[in-house]
Amino acid sequence: MVTTDEKGPLTAKKKSVIIRSCDGDEFLVSESAAVLSTSLKKILEEKEDRLIHLSDIDNKTLAMVIAYLSTHADDGLSDDLKRSFDQEFVSGKEFDVLKYLVLATDTLQVTCLCYTVAKKMADIMKNKLVEWVRREFDIQNDYTPEAEAEIRRLDAWAWDDRQLEDD
């Protein structure tokens, strides 16, 4: 199924691409928006196919990314408006949602979106504990206790005000 908004029939006349999420939903996107993603641009250059299947991005995340790409491809919007859109885009989003977004930008290679999402993730990370970061970033602590103690000793200054401190 192809979903478009009311402007669908009009925009369909323009060069556009259909992108399918891993759960089968399809989105009609203008080519000018799609090529803001380095990966999509490469795919479009390599083959004529107007249907791109993304096996590791779900529909919710893809809808957000496409909304972002379409806004940034809109020549009618000033840079200031795009900047405030960016802020609005990540404000209030849970870390879980940002996780999907950052993974999607890593796959799709969208530099400006990666910047915006990474900034928001860094803001959330700032006051978190080591265990929180390990859990949220899916990090297995593979240090031996001795090795970890050694690092703590060498760069003791980096933990002296209890930021990123252990639980």
Partner 1 sequence: MEKTKPCASRKRLKQNPPLVDRLSGLSDAVICQILSFLPTKLSVATSILAKRWRFLWTHVPNLYFDGENHNIINRVIMLHKVQSLTTFRLRYMDNCEDYEFETWITIAIARNVQNLDIRLDHQLMLPRCLFTCKTLVNLTLFNCVGIPSSGSVSLPSLKKLDFYFVRYQVDKVLPRLLSCCPVLEELIIDGIVDKDLVCYDIFSPTIKVLKVFPWYNGLGNDHNVEIKINAPALRYLQLLDCVCKQISAQMLTSLIQADIVCCCFHDGRRDYYYQPVVKFIDSLCNVKYLKLRNKLEPDADFADPSESIRRFDYLMKLELAVDWRFLTKFLERADNLEVLIIREQVDGSLKCNWMKPKQVPTCLLSHLRTVRIDYFECTKHELKLVKYLLKNAKVLKRMEIYSPTHGFGFEAKFNTLQKISLFQRGSEACELAFY
Question: Count residues contacting partner 1 (CB under 8 A)?
Answer: 65
The tokens of 131 are what? 């265990």
Query: Residue 41 corresponds to which amino acid?
Result: K
List all residues 6 or more positions away from 72 whose beta carbon is below 8 Å from its beta carbon: 33, 36, 82, 112
Give least dist CB 88 to partner 1, A.
16
Nearer to partner 1, 47 or 140 (CB): 140
**Which residue from 74, 82, 85, 93 is in contact with partner 1, where contact means CB under 8 A?**
74
Neighbour count for residue 60 (Cβ, 10 Å): 14
How large is the angle between the packed helices 59-73 and 111-125, nearest 10 degrees?
Answer: 120
Q: Is residue 123 close enough to count as binding partner 1 by CB under 8 A? A: yes
Neighbour count for residue 73 (Cβ, 10 Å): 16
DSSP letter for each residue of 8-61: HHHHHHS-EEEEE-TTS-EEEEEHHHHTTSHHHHHHHHH---SEEE-TT--HHH
Site string for partner 1, 6-25 (x = CB under 8 A): -x--xx--x-x-----xx-x
Q: Is residue 76 close enough to count as binding partner 1 by CB under 8 A? A: yes
Q: Is residue 122 close enough to count as binding partner 1 by CB under 8 A? A: yes
Residues 82-101 that bind partner 1 (CB under 8 A): 99-100
Q: Is residue 105 close enough to count as binding partner 1 by CB under 8 A? A: yes
List all residues 6 or more positions away from 18 whose beta carbon is below 8 Å from its beta carbon: 2, 26, 27, 28, 29, 50, 51, 52
Give least dist CB 90 to partner 1, A.
12
Residues in touch with partner 1 (CB under 8 A): 1, 3-5, 7, 10-11, 14, 16, 22-23, 25, 27-30, 32-33, 58-60, 63, 66-67, 70-71, 73-76, 99-100, 102-103, 105-106, 114-115, 118-119, 121-123, 125-126, 130, 133-134, 136-143, 148, 151-152, 155, 157-159, 163-164
